[in-house]
Amino acid sequence: MRGLWRKLLGREEVPAEVAGRLAPDERVLATAELGAGRHLVVTSLGMWLPADDGPRLLGWHLVSKAGWQGGTLTLVEAQEIETLGGAVLITDLPPQRLRLTGPGRVPESVQARVEGSIRSRHHRELPGGGAWFVQRKVPGRDGVVLQVRPDPGTDEAAVRQVAADVARSLGLS
């Protein structure tokens, strides 16, 4: 009966492996099975991804890209490398491909949350290449974070200097 009420109210069933890990104010938006008893859980704070030592939360501000095609959700996770005066240098990890059985609202929820976390973005040419400067909302925190993703081959010293200057001009440092 409880499952019926959840469906009627548009609420998702929370898989047991994630239920005890949710923050008090974290809302479940969508879930999907990945097979072998594993689940992807989309919440207001991020995505709970399966891991060997239990599910881990990937915050929306660390999802660089997400795409949906042919039953597979492809995620590109950003890794924070260094903080420079209010700016965070990031690099993209290799894409993860998650085959969803019965995706439900997961693709739409992921797309909306990733795009919704971005406040502004622009690309700036720099010596040897360029860099993306993206201001993003961090779930559960006030304000924004300035993420800087250099293109391959871009002069590292130039990236660091410009990132610190931009963060200072935005009042983030």
Dihedral pair phi/psi, residue 53, rounded to 5°: -100, 20
Whether this model's pTM surpasses 0.75? yes
Owning domain of residue 136: 2-169
pLDDT, mean of residues 30-55: 92
Q: Name the pairing type of β-strands 144-150 and 87-92.
A: parallel
**Structural domains counted in the chain:** 1
Q: Is 155 exposed, middle or buried (0-12, 13-18, 19+ CB in 10 A)?
A: middle
- Cα maximum dimension of the chain: 62
Q: Which of 36-45, 87-96, 122-131 has the lowest mean pLDDT?
A: 36-45
Q: Which of 8-17, 81-90, 107-116 has the lowest mean pLDDT?
A: 8-17
Beta-carbon neighbour count of residue 173 at 10 Å? 15
Distance CA 102, CA 36 (A): 14
* pLDDT(3) > 60: no
**Structure-block tokens of residue 23:** 């923050």
